[in-house]
């Protein structure tokens, strides 16, 4: 019994131990694993996430004497895919996509032997009985190769683009040294600037181009094996096209035998390894679809014949100030439950917002979050959301009694929630965007009341206007907006989100020099001078305003010449953060608080006035510092007034290292407890969690 709890395998989580002792002898007679009881598993079920290849399997993979030498899908009880192959619970082979492969005698022998390390390993397989892999040309015809995986590695090294089928979907892969294939890949993926993740051979190879701290190394080698955002090394010598204009790069280590074998016969330190998804669509998981949609993108396909039950993107993590911050919670995490303090009888669903959507089910004091679904702007992602949610409900066997959704009336997720509620005849709970973030943070830390600072790009406000730099007081009964950034005009509405110079024109509407400054940048306007004149005319009459923190950071980024057009979410602010590295707070601006309003115009004006004379890193840092300190001071003032001891920081901007650090110091120096997310993403990937929690309290 003690051993059960102290000598468990690395991936083991014991949720509960029920022991019954025989009154007669008190001796053990035999050890058996009982057949999973369907009814029992359903109540409080634990759905295992995928687990990266373990060291023992890796050793066998390269051991010529082992019978699984060179078998690309080698796994054991400690490792291998789980969630991505599970069609239904309890987790036994006949309910996974491994049921298509009948175990050979040797595999079956291991599966049945309690002393074998593959005893009851549902994914057990070998070259004789398990999935196989082939190399296919873009015409769909097989390429003759006795060693398709290593051949694929060689093809990558020579500059070809490959689609590689993994456990949870297809990756697009290319060399990391050659710029040509990356440029080609970007064109076809409609990703002009968005950073691409890479898969490195091992830690040592990673260290040749990125800095890896001990906790980052631990994250990278953990059984989750996420993409970890690492700082590029000085003299970074991979292609600049991988993460243009950024100081960091997303790196993961191989997590299947196949990935490891790719590197065997190449001298490459890393390959680009990015999710194969058409713009605004989910990652491709089916072979016919891959062939149909990727054949004009890639030169070859490396395909295995195991079906993917649930598609699942790689997770993305950033080590921030002593904790792992989840940028995307997916493979390796989802859908492992998170304990949460809500009424035990509550069973609620949260459906997320519009970007980086996940779904979350709160049930019996646990929150089950789906894998990353994506931006639910198209029918395809909406369909994926419905499937993933349905799958989660089926696996847990529960029926929600309320569903939390965003306040935005027109989001696809809003319609999904309304339809779902109508079909199930349950209540819909609309939850304001930033309150959902704050409520999630409170639930994660089991805190009853808090002043929350929530900063991101956009959220539908209680008054219907665009919010995104909010100070929210929340307790068990609800929330109140107690502070916010100064509302700034968005000239041309959504166009101002894409073209940051429009934000500059709006914020600096009273600066006479701004017209000439914009004209000097006419090449960044699609219609040049004509468009600038129109923007300047609209400055006074702009109807749409926003309190978004993201839009202010965008404006600074444009003023400093770092980014004029946003080609992916968060781009200008991320480039600003990179540029601020090594900078100092040279402006040392005093927070300008005006009642509930945190002024931003004065700060932007100061930066604009000094852009010719001061260094970009210093100005970038000064702007971030002002935002952090003024948000912090505003929250502190409210907390003091309300007699609260806790201040939290959430929203996408909470992934910005400099802003988070300065805010933390500001808040802690005044004697307050400072909270950030550790279990769910601070960005919109964590929104569904907060919505489900709020719905649970109100149900
Ligand atoms: Zn293993
Ligand atoms: Zn076998």
Q: Angle at which helices 616-642 and 549-559 pack, to 10 degrees?
A: 160
**What is the pairing mode between strands 162-165 and 300-304?**
parallel
Cα 104 to middle of ligand 2, angstroms: 4
Please state, in angstroms and rounded to a whole number, the distance separating the CA atoms of residues 595 and 364.
42
Alpha helices in 64-147, H assignment, sequence order: 105-112
Cα 119 to middle of ligand 2, angstroms: 13
Please give the full DSSP string across 456-475, using - where no structure is assigned: EEEEE-TTSSEEEEEEEEEE
Cα 489 to middle of ligand 2, angstroms: 65
pLDDT for the residue numbered 42? 45
Counting ligands in written order, which one lies closest to the CA of residue 74?
Answer: 1
Query: Between residues 491 and 15, which one has the greater pLDDT?
Result: 491
Counting ligands in written order, which one lies closest to the CA of residue 9?
Answer: 1
Over residues 137-148, the pLDDT tens digits come to 999 999 999 999
Place of tokens 């305003």: 545
Counting ligands in written order, which one lies closest to the CA of residue 125?
Answer: 2
Cα 130 to middle of ligand 2, angstroms: 6
Over residues 8-65, the pLDDT tens digits come to 655 555 555 556 665 565 566 665 655 555 444 444 457 899 999 999 999 999 999 9
Cα 146 to middle of ligand 2, angstroms: 20
pLDDT for the residue numbered 38? 47
Q: Find out whether 193 and 244 touch, Cβ atoms under 8 Å.
A: yes
Closest CA to 400 of 360, 430, 435, 431: 360
Place of tokens 């292609």: 239
Cα 578 to middle of ligand 1, angstroms: 39
Counting ligands in written order, which one lies closest to the CA of residue 98?
Answer: 2
Cα 89 to middle of ligand 2, angstroms: 24
Cα 661 to middle of ligand 1, angstroms: 39
Cα 127 to middle of ligand 2, angstroms: 6
Q: 3 falls in which pLDDT band (50, 70, 90)?
A: low
Count the helices and strands in the chain (H runs, E runs): 23, 26
Counting ligands in written order, which one lies closest to the CA of residue 103?
Answer: 2
Closest CA to 439 of 413, 404, 415: 404
Cα 360 to middle of ligand 1, angstroms: 30
DSSP one-letter code for 91: -
Over residues 89-131, the pLDDT tens digits come to 888 999 999 999 999 999 999 999 999 999 999 999 999 999 9
Q: Could you tell me the two tokens for 682?
A: 């601070």
Q: Could you tell me the two tokens for 120?
A: 């009851």
| Sign of the CA dihedral running 597, 577, 435, 344 | negative
Using DSSP's 3-state secondary structure scheme, residue 392 falls into helix
Counting ligands in written order, which one lies closest to the CA of residue 77?
Answer: 1
Average pLDDT over residues 493-497: 94
Please state, in angstroms and rounded to a whole number, the distance separating the CA atoms of residues 206 and 200.
6
Counting ligands in written order, which one lies closest to the CA of residue 55?
Answer: 1
Cα 75 to middle of ligand 2, angstroms: 12
Q: Whole-number mean pLDDT of the chain?
A: 93
Counting ligands in written order, which one lies closest to the CA of residue 124?
Answer: 2
Cα 111 to middle of ligand 1, angstroms: 13
Cα 29 to middle of ligand 1, angstroms: 29
pLDDT surpasses 90 at 565: yes
Counting ligands in written order, which one lies closest to the CA of residue 104?
Answer: 2
Q: Find out whether 452 and 519 touch, Cβ atoms under 8 Å.
A: no
Cα 694 to middle of ligand 2, angstroms: 49
Over residues 431-451, the pLDDT tens digits come to 999 999 999 999 999 999 999
Average pLDDT over residues 219-240: 97
Cα 125 to middle of ligand 2, angstroms: 5
Counting ligands in written order, which one lies closest to the CA of residue 67?
Answer: 2
Counting ligands in written order, which one lies closest to the CA of residue 79?
Answer: 1
Q: 373 falls in which pLDDT band (50, 70, 90)?
A: very high
Cα 33 to middle of ligand 2, angstroms: 22
Counting ligands in written order, which one lies closest to the CA of residue 75?
Answer: 1
pLDDT for the residue numbered 44? 47
Percent residues over pLDDT 90 in the chain: 89
pLDDT for the residue numbered 199? 98
Q: Find out whether 71 and 149 touch, Cβ atoms under 8 Å.
A: no
Q: 278 falls in which pLDDT band (50, 70, 90)?
A: confident
Counting ligands in written order, which one lies closest to the CA of residue 118?
Answer: 1
Counting ligands in written order, which one lies closest to the CA of residue 80?
Answer: 1
pLDDT for the residue numbered 380? 94
pLDDT surpasses 90 at 287: yes
Cα 272 to middle of ligand 1, angstroms: 25
pLDDT for the residue numbered 192? 84
Q: 319 falls in which pLDDT band (50, 70, 90)?
A: very high
């Amino acid at each position: 019994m003690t051993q059960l709890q102290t000598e468990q395998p690395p991936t083991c989580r014991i949720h509960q131990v029920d022991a019954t002792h025989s009154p007669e002898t008190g001796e053990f007679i035999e050890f058996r694993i009982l057949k999973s009881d369907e009814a029992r598993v359903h109540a409080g079920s634990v759905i295992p996430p995928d687990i990266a290849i373990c060291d023992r399997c890796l050793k066998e993979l390269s051991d010529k004497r082992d019978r699984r030498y060179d078998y690309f899908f080698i796994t054991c009880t400690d490792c291998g895919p789980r969630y991505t192959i599970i069609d239904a619970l309890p987790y036994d082979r006949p309910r996974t996509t491994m049921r298509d492969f009948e175990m050979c005698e040797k595999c079956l022998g291991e599966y049945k032997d309690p002393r074998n390390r593959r005893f009851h390993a549902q994914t057990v397989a070998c070259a004789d009985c398990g999935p196989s892999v082939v190399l296919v040309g873009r015409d769909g015809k097989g390429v003759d190769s006795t060693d398709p995986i290593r051949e694929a590695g060689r093809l990558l090294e020579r500059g070809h683009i490959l689609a590689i089928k993994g456990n949870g979907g297809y990756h697009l892969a290319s060399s990391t040294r050659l710029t040509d294939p990356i440029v080609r890949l970007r064109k076809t993926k409609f990703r002009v600037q968005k950073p691409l993740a890479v898969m490195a051979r091992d830690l040592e190879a990673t260290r040749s181009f990125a800095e890896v701290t001990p906790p980052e190394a631990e994250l990278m080698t953990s059984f989750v094996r996420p993409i970890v955002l690492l700082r590029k090394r000085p003299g970074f010598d991979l292609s600049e096209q991988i993460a243009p204009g950024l100081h960091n790069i997303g790196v993961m280590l191989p997590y299947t035998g196949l990935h490891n074998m790719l590197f065997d016969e190449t001298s490459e330190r890393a390959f680009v390894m990015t999710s194969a998804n058409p713009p605004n669509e989910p990652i491709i998981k089916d072979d016919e679809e891959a062939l149909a949609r990727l054949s004009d993108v890639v030169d070859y396909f490396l395909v295995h014949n195991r079906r993917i039950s649930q598609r699942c993107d790689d997770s993305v993590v950033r080590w921030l100030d002593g904790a792992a911050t989840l940028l995307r919670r997916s493979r390796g995490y989802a859908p492992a439950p998170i304990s949460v303090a809500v009424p035990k009888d509550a069973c609620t669903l949260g459906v997320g917002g519009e970007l980086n959507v996940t779904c979350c089910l709160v049930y019996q004091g646990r929150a089950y979050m789906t894998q990353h679904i994506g931006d639910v702007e198209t029918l395809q992602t909406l369909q994926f959301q419905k499937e993933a949610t349905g799958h989660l409900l089926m696996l847990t066997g529960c029926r929600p009694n309320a569903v939390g959704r965003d306040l935005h009336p027109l989001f696809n997720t809003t319609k999904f929630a309304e339809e779902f509620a109508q079909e199930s005849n349950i209540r819909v709970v609309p939850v304001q965007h930033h309150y959902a973030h704050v409520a999630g943070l409170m639930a994660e830390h089991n805190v009853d009341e808090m002043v929350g600072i929530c900063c991101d790009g956009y959220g539908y406000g209680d008054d219907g206007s665009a919010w995104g730099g909010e100070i929210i007081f929340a307790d068990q009964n609800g929330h109140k907006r107690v502070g916010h950034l100064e509302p700034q005009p968005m000239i041309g509405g959504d166009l101002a989100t894409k073209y940051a110079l429009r934000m500059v024109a709006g914020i600096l509407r009273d600066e006479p020099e701004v017209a000439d400054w914009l004209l000097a940048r006419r090449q960044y306007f699609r219609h040049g001078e004509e468009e600038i004149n129109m923007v300047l005319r609209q400055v006074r009459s702009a109807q749409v305003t926003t309190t978004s923190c993201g839009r202010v950071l965008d404006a600074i980024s444009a003023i400093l010449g770092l980014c004029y057009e946003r080609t992916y979410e968060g781009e200008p602010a991320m480039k600003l953060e990179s540029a601020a590295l090594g900078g100092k707070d040279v402006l040392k601006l005093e927070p300008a608080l005006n009642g509930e309003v945190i002024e931003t115009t004065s700060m932007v004006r100061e930066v604009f006035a000094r852009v010719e004379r001061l260094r970009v890193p210093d100005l970038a840092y000064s702007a971030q510092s002002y935002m952090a300190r003024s948000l912090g001071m505003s929250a502190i003032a409210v907390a003091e007034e309300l007699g609260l001891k806790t201040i939290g920081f959430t929203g996408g901007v909470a992934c910005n290292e400099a802003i988070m650090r300065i805010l933390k110091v500001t808040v802690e120096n005044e004697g307050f407890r400072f909270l950030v997310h550790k279990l769910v993403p601070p960005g919109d990937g964590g929104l569904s969690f907060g919505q489900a929690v709020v719905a649970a309290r109100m149900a």
